[in-house]
Structure 1
Amino acid sequence: MSETAVNRLYLMQVGDMPEYHIPIVCYLVQTENGKNILIDTGLPETMPAEETDFENGKDVIQQLASIGLTPGDIDMVVSTHYDIDHAGRHAAFTRAEYVVQRAHHQDAVAGNPRFAPLQPEWDQPLERIRLIDGDTELLPGLHLIETSGHVKGHQSVLLRLPKTGLVLLTVDAVNFAEGFTRDVPPDERQPDPEKAQASTLKLLDLAEREQIPLVIFGHDQAQWQNLKQLPEHYD
């Protein structure tokens, strides 16, 4: 692993799925040289009429404002995928470079109906989108891990913080701690159950190999209640 250039991680809950008590979350990474990197942007400001599962809370822009940041202060948005609860405010960050797996972006552009309702958010000018292929060191201390299955080209994030050490954000590759095991069978609710299972095993291998002390799951309410949330942070 390279020497860290990441020095702070904020966690934000921006909404939930009330029926299931599932938090909707995104993250802010700050670097030693003053860069602000969002990982996902949460729910859209106005939910599509047909979308009844989600409920907005204090959105990402309000939460950033509480620590003195505006959308114009965001240098980069790492887009794990274009689902409505992860890419809902992408268009608000007009100065940011967007980083997304090429396979995922191409799937969305090709007309996958799953992502069509949110197209005005993720369909940004190509000169502002960085398409990547597979596992990538985005910068020292921030690695993107390709974890398809939940959707094509989904990506998780591995961070190295100065004091906390390694932090793995599984995002939707592993939604709950109980699913982070080698014994879970393929989930037939996923678009590609076998790839989803393979991605879980890939992250398990990574966590064991690197002895990662903190793994944060995508929508685990029990875990989330015990994590530091903005304005607190991990460093």
Structure 2
Amino acid sequence: MRQTSIKRLYLMEVGSMPEYQIPVVCYLVQTRDGKNILIDTGLPETIPQEEADFENGQDVIQQLSRIGLTPDNIDTVISTHYDIDHAGRHGAFTRAKYVVQQVHHEDALSGNPRYAALRAEWDQPMERIQLVQGDMELFPGLQLLETSGHVPGHQSVLLELPETGKVLLTVDAVPFAEGFTRDAPLNDHNPDPEQARKSTLKLLDLVEHGQVNLVIFGHERAQWDGLKKLPEFYG
């Protein structure tokens, strides 16, 4: 494996949908040179009535404090997408650069009602937002993967850890393990089911040909219960 700048990956369960046994999660990546990269921020402090299926747990700020970090210590927030369970605390990280797919940010700015309740969180000053287009290596050992379908401009993340090896965070491109097959039925809950299928196949190709050692699904309760979670980490 080539040299990577990634040192550790922390997993955080910050809330849930109790009725469906679905975890709400965030990730913290630390680099060898001391950068703290947060992937998603979980649910908002006050959950809108129309989203009452969600329930906050120990939020991302509380969890970071367990390893001595505050919001000011976060250098980068990778925003996979602006759904309420992924972008709810974006506004707390006022010193961070936000990284989001351009097509997704523009869709949100256009007035898509799906993201309206969280606009105060994701609509940050443009000098703090890094818009990206498609797949790219953000840091040595951290690659963004454009995986539209669940929403336009959704992004997954591929990491290279020094001991664990390659770790794929599918996020909502493949939220559940049962959907990670070539013959999975179309999911009509996605705005673009055909594109979601293409993104699933893209990630399957990556796993089959790219020596990925661990695939972490975005909302798979059975898997999450068995994973290391902060303060433990994958190195």
Same structural fold, with TM-score higher than 0.5 when normalized by the shorter chain: yes
Q: Equivalent residue for 2:132?
A: 132
Secondary structure at the counterpart of residue 88 of structure 2 = coil
C-alpha separation in 2, matches of 1:23 and 1:146 = 23
Q: Equivalent residue for 1:143?
A: 143
Q: Equivalent residue for 1:178?
A: 178
Matches within 5 A, 1:199-210: 199-210=199-210
1:41 has 2:41 as partner = yes
Q: Equivalent residue for 1:120?
A: 120
Q: Equivalent residue for 2:187?
A: 187
C-alpha separation in 1, matches of 2:203 and 2:30 = 24
Contact 1:156/1:173 (<8 A) preserved: yes
C-alpha separation in 1, matches of 2:138 and 2:113 = 29
Q: Equivalent residue for 1:56?
A: 56
Taking every aligned residue pair, what percent have the same amino acid on both sides? 72
User: Where in structure 1 are there 5+ consecutive unaligned residues?
Assistant: none
Letter in 2 for 1:161: L
Secondary structure at the counterpart of residue 144 of structure 2 = strand
Q: What's the offset of the Cα at 1:213?
A: 1.1
Runs (4+) of structure 1 exceeding 3 A deviation are none
Shifted more, 185-194 versus 15-24: the winner is 185-194
C-alpha separation in 2, matches of 1:139 and 1:126 = 21
What's the CA shift string for 1:110-144, capped at 9, x where partnerless?
00000000000000000000000000100100000
TM-score, normalising length from structure 2? 0.99
Letter in 2 for 1:26: C
Q: What's the offset of the Cα at 1:49?
A: 2.2
User: Where in structure 2 are there 5+ consecutive unaligned residues?
Assistant: none
Alignment RMSD (CA, Å): 0.8
Q: Equivalent residue for 1:26?
A: 26
TM-score, normalising length from structure 1? 0.99
Secondary structure at the counterpart of residue 230 of structure 2 = coil
Q: Equivalent residue for 2:152?
A: 152
Q: Equivalent residue for 1:97?
A: 97
What's the CA shift string for 1:55-96, capped at 9, x where partnerless?
000000000001000000000000000000000000000000
* Aligned residue-pair number: 235
Q: What's the offset of the Cα at 1:2?
A: 5.1
